[in-house]
Every structure is written in structure tokens, then in C-alpha cells.
Structure 1
Amino acid sequence: MCSVANPIRSEIDFEENGRHVGYLRLPNSVHRSAYGWIPIPVGSVRNGTGPTVLLMAGNHGDEYEGQLLVAQLSREIEPQWVNGQVIFLPMANYPAADAGLRTSPLDDGNLNRSFPGDPHGSPTAVIAHYIESTLLARSQYLLDFHSGGSSLLYHGGNMLAVEPNDAEEDSRLRSLLAAFGLPRAFLHSPNPLHSSMAARRQGAMSIVTELGGGGTVQRRLLLEARQGVLHLLSTIGVLNGPLVPWRAPHETRFYRVAGERHYVYACERGVFEPLVDLGERVSAGQPAARIHFPDTPSREPVLVAFESAGEVVCRRTFAAVQRGDCLFHLAEPAE
């Protein structure tokens, strides 16, 4: 990790007890504002002694469910109900979230492919460095809220976690996922550029969500995610009081995402026709989609098949596709 100080400055003191809200100031010298800064919303509720949890959303700017949830919880959780600290970062990559884009319009930066970041880098790299070196460095837990964004739609509520290093971590991780209690939990191989690995490097446990998507917000998913977060915060001893639900929203089933064979991609440019629905179980070789070519009416559509068996947990929302666009994403039971 680079030892150079990060240029971002916080308007709030993370050591102070009570509720505090403000902005992380990211210096941004541009034609419109020579000495300006980018406002990244941040909040903290701190009281007593206990773990620190970072609730982060807006990692990708077109994923709205988490942005609403983190902002809502920052208003709802009172300091007297907290033992430890909850940090709220509802629009982590603020330029992307403000524009409603997956990546930042300032540098085309994908925050969840930018960790550990660089304090001398582009705006997205500076944000990634601050999150890892300052916020995650003081946290024991990370909840990073994602969804399918504009181009993808996930089947209901899902959680992702990096495959554990050993049996002890596996037991602890499964307990956390069960306490959150969304219907499905995927275990996946580590990617050093993701927030989950940034958390691991700082000694924190992490859970990433995939809540719906398609550029929309589904009320049921938002309510279930809120219930799950509050139940998890209570389980780890950070939260008590009237907000705590008596149970998790669902009994979680565990899945594994096994690399390329669980993904289906467009092989040509055209119009995507799905042949299966979300939640459907499919077999290897089963037709997944047709790619049509309305600009060449005499041409027959191309059939795309699943390489592997599994459950359809995600599909593309946009009908127009280009070669290499993801059409479907599968998962298989982990047991």
C-alpha cells in the first residue's frame, strides 16, 4: 500500500461519538472551478465500544437500491442504539452515481476494479485508495451494496463473498451470510481489484449484495435488504433497540460461481431474445438465447447455448447486444 497521504479530506471526525454527516472532499481542479472539490456524501454513528462497520453503496453509479438503503439507514439508526460505529457511504463513486453511470464520467473509472487505488491517480483511483487505506483500515466489516445496474437484472436478493481461506473463516462467513439472510449466497474466487479483497487486506470481513437491477428499485428487495442488514448488525453486536428485527428475511442457500462456464456471452452483434427465465434450472447444451439480425431479414438467428448446468441468477436487460456482452450468469449449489 502506498504510504503517501490521500488528498481526500473528511468534513466529519470519525473518532467523535454521536451522529455526524458531511462530505469527503476530493480535490478537482477543472475549467469550471479551478480550486474545487467533489462532494462524496458520508456519515457516521458512533457510540460505546464495539466493531466498526462500513455500509457502502454507489460503488457503481447506476445501482440504486443500495444508495437508497444506506442513506435511509444513516437517518434511522440512533447513536444510543449503537455499540461501536457504523460508517455510511451511499455514493462511493460520487461522479458515477451523480451521472447514473456504472463508471465515472471523469476518468471512465470502475471503482470495483480500482482497489487498492492510488493517491496520485485519477479521481476513481484516489477514492479507492481512501476507502481502503482510511475507511476499511478502521473497519471490521464491509457491506458493499450492488445490483445488476442498467444492463443486468438479478433474480431477487443475492449475496457474494470471497471463498474463505480456511475452515474457521468458512464457519464465520456462513454465519454472517445466514444472519443477513438474503435468499442466495454465492462464493467466488478472489479478485484483488474488488472491494471484498480490499476489505480482506485490511483484516475486515465483507459481504457484497446483488439486489435486482435493470436501472430500477424493487420495493420488496429494498425491504428485505433493510431487514437483513439490521439483523446482521444486531448479530455482530453493533446494533440494539427498536429497529432490530427478530429474524433474518430468508433462510440462505449457498451457491458457487465457477468461472467462465457459468457465463453466457453474445457471439455477434444483433438483438437478444432470451429463451429461459430468471430462477430457471438449465442443463449444459440447453439453448439460452437467439441473436437476431433485423437489418438482414433473410439471415436466420444464431443460437447461443449454456456451457454448464446451473440456476439462472442474472440476465441482460438490454435487447441490443454486441459481441462479448454478458447475456446470462449461472450459479450452482455449493454443497
Structure 2
Amino acid sequence: MKNIGTAKVIPGEKTEGYLHAGTDIDGASFKIPLLVAAGKEEGPTIWVHGCIHGDEFGGAASIIRFFEELNVQELRGTFVGVPVTNLPSFKGWSRISPLDGANLNRIFPGNPKGTYSQRLAHLLLSTIKETADYVLDLHSGGLALHVDYFMICKGGDSDAAQKSLWLAERMGSKVIWVTEQEGSVGGTITDHVMEFGIPNVTIEVGGGHISEKHEHQFKDSIKNAMKALELLPGDAPVQKEYEIYRKGDFIFAGEGGLFVPASKVGSILNKGDLIGTIINLHGKVVEEIRCSDDNAYLAATGHPYWPTEQGRLIAETYTK
């Protein structure tokens, strides 16, 4: 019988367990919860994780609910759900770890002899390599930002990259950001999962308050991926057309104050359009945040009146 951490993989059953991920400063074990469902019929293993960033808890809630609702009798292959991968950050409601100040999704592949987050990154990658045929990476805007509903996958000509795009096209959103190696964010878990030849897709939904709509978008995306990969019966949706973006512009606040959005996420903006302003505590505008490109998809902005320091990421736009 196969185990993933302490969770047993039993055909036709759902099981729970933990992945031991080191210890806290009081010596208590960090136990990463695992939710495993195995079909009676053999098939691929899909690994679905949330909360690499601890303040992006919409993914965690959606994985838990998806697992509860999953009919194991319909399942072919294995579902592995990891609601919270980064327990220290989750406990601190923070994007970065309170233990070592690291952003976990910028330090992969990690180091088994490094700081806590570096060791965690190494453990997660090692476990995925041993376990998964496909990976879904759930994210949101966290506490500070709100994002639209879209998929992210890595560009390239490899079989894994091509399969990732194919899968992203069948998960429910017509908007896909295909990140190229040049200019993309480095050190992410998906970068290194791709190096193992494992197809993967990042799902971006919401931020801050978790709405019922956001939960359904996460769960539907997981279900659609599993239909596409024939882990579940039924046809995955295929859109009539897709909006494929390949360039990302990350916009940071130049001044501190309260952010006041002027455009909604999901909007198409042109160069010079106002994304939002930053006001000081006298109510005066100290900075205007404007779009730098034509035909730009506004993927993320700060929440209304979010307290913003200089250098904080406040918006993202994507162009083709």
C-alpha cells in the first residue's frame, strides 16, 4: 500500500494524513494536512495545493470543500489535496514567513540544509516529484490585492509546457497568462515542477474576502482539470476563443498612503488610463497609478483604501 506522508492511498476510499515539515521554535512539529482520494481504477495523480502564500486562504477553503464533495466512486486515479503548504505564513496571515522572512514562492528549489522556508521548498518539490503527474497551484490576491479569474502556465516547446497550456484551456477561464522565461518571476514552485516534466497550471481567483463565487471558481477549475485528464467523467469546457497574454507589468506604489482604485479588475485599459490613486491622510492625491501599455488586461489591483507603503505591489497588467 502506498503512502503520501502519513496518508494511506487506498483504492475506493478517502484518507487523511500529514506531511511532516520540520519543527517550530518550541519544538512542535509542523504537520502539513493531506487529503487523499483514490479511485478503484488506476489513473494519474493530480496534486492540488493552496496557501504557498499564507494570506491566500481562498484556495485552502476550496480544496477542503472540493474534497468533501468529491465522489470517490467516480474517480479514476488519485487526488491529493494540500490546503495549506506554508503553515508559518498561514498562521501569521502573511505572504512571507514570520520565521525567516522568506517568500516561499520565490526560493524554490530550496535547500535541505537552509532556513525553514528553504527546507520546506525542498520537501515540497521532492514530494511532488515522487507523487504527482499533474499539479494545480491555487493563488489569489491575498489580503492586499484583488485579482480577476484567470489561469497561468509556463511557456515553451516542451511536452510539459504544451500539456499545461492544453489543460489551462479546459479549466473554465478564457484568460490565460503564458509566462516566458525572460522577464518572468523566478524561484516559483511551478518553474521547478516544470523542470521535472510535470504539467502544471496556476489558478488565480479573488483576494481578501472569500465569496461564494470565488469558491465555485476554484472548485470548478479543479473539477474541469480532472475531467480533461479523465480522472472524472464528463467533458471539460472549451472556450470559443482565448485571451492569451505573454507579458506582465508589475506596478509598485511610489508613495505611501491609501490606495483608491479607479478601474475594475478584468478591464482592458490603454496607455495612460487611470488604474487608481494614492491619497495621504489629509485626503490629497499624492500619486496617480496609470497603465503603461495599450490593450492591457488589468489582472490585479489593491483593495479600496488599502494602506500602502512605498514599493508595495499595487497592480498588475498583462499584454499580448
> Considering the TM-score relative to the shorter chain, is it more than 0.5?
yes
- How much has 1:279 moved relative to structure 2? 2.7
Q: Judge conservation of contact 1:136–1:142 (CA < 8 Å) in 2.
A: no
1:261-302 CA distances to partner (integer Å, 9 max, x unpaired)?
A: x2332212233233323233221123333333335x8x7633
Question: What CA distance in whole angstroms lies between the structure 1 residues aligned with 2:109 and 2:217?
Answer: 31
Q: Judge conservation of contact 2:59–2:83 (CA < 8 Å) in 1.
A: yes
1:67 is paired with a residue whose SS is: helix
Q: Could you say which residue in structure 2 is the equivalent of 1:194?
A: 188
Q: Judge conservation of contact 2:156–2:180 (CA < 8 Å) in 1.
A: no
Q: Could you say which residue in structure 1 is the equivalent of 2:168?
A: 177
2:43 is paired with a residue whose SS is: coil
**Unmatched 5+ residue regions in structure 1?**
1-8
Please report the RMSD computed on the Cα atoms of aligned residues, expressed in angstroms: 2.5
Change (3 A) 1:43 1:304: closer
- How much has 1:192 moved relative to structure 2? 4.3
Change (3 A) 1:316 1:120: same
Q: Judge conservation of contact 1:137–1:202 (CA < 8 Å) in 2.
A: no
- How much has 1:78 moved relative to structure 2? 4.0
Q: Could you say which residue in structure 2 is the equivalent of 1:22?
A: 17
1:313 is paired with a residue whose SS is: strand
1:172-230 CA distances to partner (integer Å, 9 max, x unpaired)?
A: 333211211124211112444111112112211110011010x2112112213312321
Change (3 A) 1:251 1:217: farther
2:204 to 210, 213, 223: 210
1:158 to 143, 146, 150: 150
Q: Judge conservation of contact 2:18–2:31 (CA < 8 Å) in 1.
A: yes
Report how many aligned residue pairs link the two structures: 310
User: What letter is aligned with 1:266?
Assistant: A
1:89-108 CA distances to partner (integer Å, 9 max, x unpaired)?
A: 11011121233221222222
1:316 to 293, 297, 302: 302
2:7 is paired with a residue whose SS is: coil
- Structure 1 stretch displaced more, 62-71 or 278-287: 278-287
1:125-179 CA distances to partner (integer Å, 9 max, x unpaired)?
A: 2221111112233311100100000111012x2111111325x666533321121
| Mapped pair 1:91 → 2:84 | yes
Q: Percent identity?
A: 21
| Mapped pair 1:220 → 2:220 | no
Change (3 A) 1:323 1:284: same
| Mapped pair 1:11 → 2:6 | yes
User: What letter is aligned with 1:38?
Assistant: F
User: What letter is aligned with 2:187?
Assistant: L
1:38 to 30, 34, 37: 30
2:170 is paired with a residue whose SS is: helix
Q: Judge conservation of contact 2:160–2:197 (CA < 8 Å) in 1.
A: no
Q: Judge conservation of contact 2:153–2:179 (CA < 8 Å) in 1.
A: yes
Q: Judge conservation of contact 1:185–1:252 (CA < 8 Å) in 2.
A: no
| TM-score normalised by length of structure 1 | 0.83
Question: What CA distance in whole angstroms lies between the structure 2 residues aligned with 1:162 and 1:54?
Answer: 17
Q: Judge conservation of contact 2:108–2:189 (CA < 8 Å) in 1.
A: yes
| TM-score normalised by length of structure 2 | 0.87
Change (3 A) 1:287 1:223: closer
Question: What CA distance in whole angstroms lies between the structure 2 residues aligned with 1:172 and 1:27?
Answer: 34
**Unmatched 5+ residue regions in structure 2?**
none
1:180 is paired with a residue whose SS is: coil
